[in-house]
């Protein structure tokens, strides 16, 4: 299935050729279906947008295609459809071995013995969880060989006694879906919000959850998504971050969750769940309320119409004094991008890590930032660099489901949390710096 690694891994510098030809292969004129975007796939004969989306979704869930025959397993495809495109596509991944090799290890982490990088080095390096105070802990994926990250999530789900409110974009990973069924069977009130398009995927757990009698509501928009990724257990524990409940996210992708026991955050997210739960029943698209800080934490929700919540993120960026470190799946929101450019021009160190495929889509700002002199790197894996966080001056963390895009701001159901500390936060920026330095050699090329 190719090579994946831990959070923050698989980065190399963006080059002009990588940006302009993100899905190139050694076979001229052929489209590499292992990294082609939806926009590129629709150019193939007989593949409309729906089939293209199914190809990308299947690839993200199951990993790279090992043969063209694998295409026949994609919803909407048949053998005839595979034959029609066989001469126009390739699976080629030549030239990626060195990138894969460099991605599997980095300084400052602990060896985990996972098999995720076995094709490259026989092992990988995994970012270890960490906590701050008594209320918050960060967990990173892909999971280690012992499955400690998954075990921690299951511990929260299995300990619920009264209520579990789940708002997750994509639910197909069996161990997590089964935990919801267990909770329902022991009398916990389980309510689920999810995305309608993801629920229609062949491997979705949503139909099984409905058959088990769990309460579940889906969005009704064809254009926007229920993109939240949070859980509230017994109104006392919050799980939030970038993690979808899929095999690719838990075992392969670069992801994170923060488990928080802050009562203020739990209350804010509980209100957001109720807002969306009611909206989906009525079929409306109610906007999220304006956010504000409660002490040193603010919970931001979307969509919004007045840009007040994204304005809080903008304010944090504008107030940066020394550094901004960003790991973001997709970056197209010019309001935020222009601020990054200004801070760079003011002499601040601005470093950005983004997903290689998303860096090549129309409207992506990665290349513009790179050309302006900012430090920009993309991952080199078959799986997503799916984080959505920023670390500002080593003492402010912004994290959640929120991609920096107009759709996330004005259309999707999204969330983000701003955490502030009075002094430099030791762990997260340190890890980001270690990973960046470990891949300095890649950037030089």
Residues assigned a catalytic role: 227, 229, 234
* CB distance 240 to 402 below 8 Å: no
Eight-state DSSP code of residue 119? T
Whether cis (ω within 30° of 0) applies to the bond prior to 142 is yes
Joined tokens for residue 130:
């960490």
Report, in angstroms and rounded to the nearest whole number, the Rg of the chain calculated over CA atoms.
21
Whether cis (ω within 30° of 0) applies to the bond prior to 303 is yes
* Rounded Cα gap, residues 402 and 322, in angstroms: 24
* CB distance 293 to 44 below 8 Å: no
* CB distance 286 to 400 below 8 Å: no
* Rounded Cα gap, residues 410 and 404, in angstroms: 11
**Main-chain phi, psi angles of 217, to 5 degrees:** -130, 140
Helices (H) and strands (E) in the chain — how many of each?
A: 17, 21
* Rounded Cα gap, residues 27 and 49, in angstroms: 24
SS3 270: helix
């Amino acid at each position: 299935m190719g090579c994946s690694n831990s959070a923050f891994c698989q980065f190399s510098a963006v080059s002009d050729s990588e940006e302009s030809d993100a899905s190139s292969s050694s076979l001229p004129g052929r489209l590499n279906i292992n990294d082609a975007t939806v926009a590129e796939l629709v150019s193939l004969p007989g593949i409309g947008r729906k089939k293209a989306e199914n190809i990308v979704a299947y690839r993200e869930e199951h990993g790279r295609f090992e043969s063209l025959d694998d295409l026949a397993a994609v919803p909407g495809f048949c053998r005839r459809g595979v034959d029609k495109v066989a001469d126009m596509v390739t699976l080629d991944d030549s030239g990626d071995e060195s990138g894969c090799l460099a991605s599997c290890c980095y300084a400052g982490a602990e060896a985990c013995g996972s098999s995720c990088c076995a094709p490259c080095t026989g092992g990988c390096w995994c970012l270890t969880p960490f906590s701050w105070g008594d209320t918050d802990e960060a967990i990173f994926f892909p999971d280690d060989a012992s499955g400690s990250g998954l075990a921690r999530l299951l511990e929260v789900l299995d300990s619920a006694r009264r209520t579990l409110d789940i708002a997750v974009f994509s639910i197909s990973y069996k161990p997590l879906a089964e935990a919801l069924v267990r909770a329902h069977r022991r009398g916990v009130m389980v309510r689920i919000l999810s995305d309608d398009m993801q629920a229609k995927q062949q491997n979705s757990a949503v139909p099984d959850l409905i058959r088990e009698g769990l309460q579940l509501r889906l969005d009704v928009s064809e254009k926007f998504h229920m993109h939240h990724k949070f859980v509230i257990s017994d109104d006392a524990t919050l799980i939030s971050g970038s993690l979808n409940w899929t095999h690719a996210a838990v075992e392969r992708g670069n992801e994170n969750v923060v488990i928080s026991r802050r009562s203020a955050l739990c209350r804010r997210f509980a209100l957001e769940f109720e807002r969306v739960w009611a909206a989906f029943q009525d079929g409306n698209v109610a906007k999220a309320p304006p956010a504000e800080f409660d002490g040193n934490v603010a919970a931001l929700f979307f969509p919004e119409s007045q840009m007040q919540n994204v304005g809080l993120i903008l304010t944090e960026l504008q107030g940066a004094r020394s550094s901004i470190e960003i790991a973001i799946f997709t970056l197209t929101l010019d309001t935020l991008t222009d601020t990054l450019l200004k801070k760079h021009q003011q002499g601040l160190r601005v470093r950005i890590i983004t997903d290689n495929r998303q860096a090549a889509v129309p409207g992506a700002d990665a290349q513009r930032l790179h050309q302006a002199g900012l430090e920009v790197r993309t991952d080199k894996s078959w799986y997503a660099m799916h984080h959505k966080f920023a670390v500002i001056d080593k003492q402010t963390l912004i994290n959640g489901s929120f991609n920096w895009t107009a759709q996330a701001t004005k259309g999707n159901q999204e969330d983000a949390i701003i955490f502030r500390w009075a002094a430099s936060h030791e762990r997260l920026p340190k890890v980001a710096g270690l990973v960046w330095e470990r891949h300095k050699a890649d950037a030089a090329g």
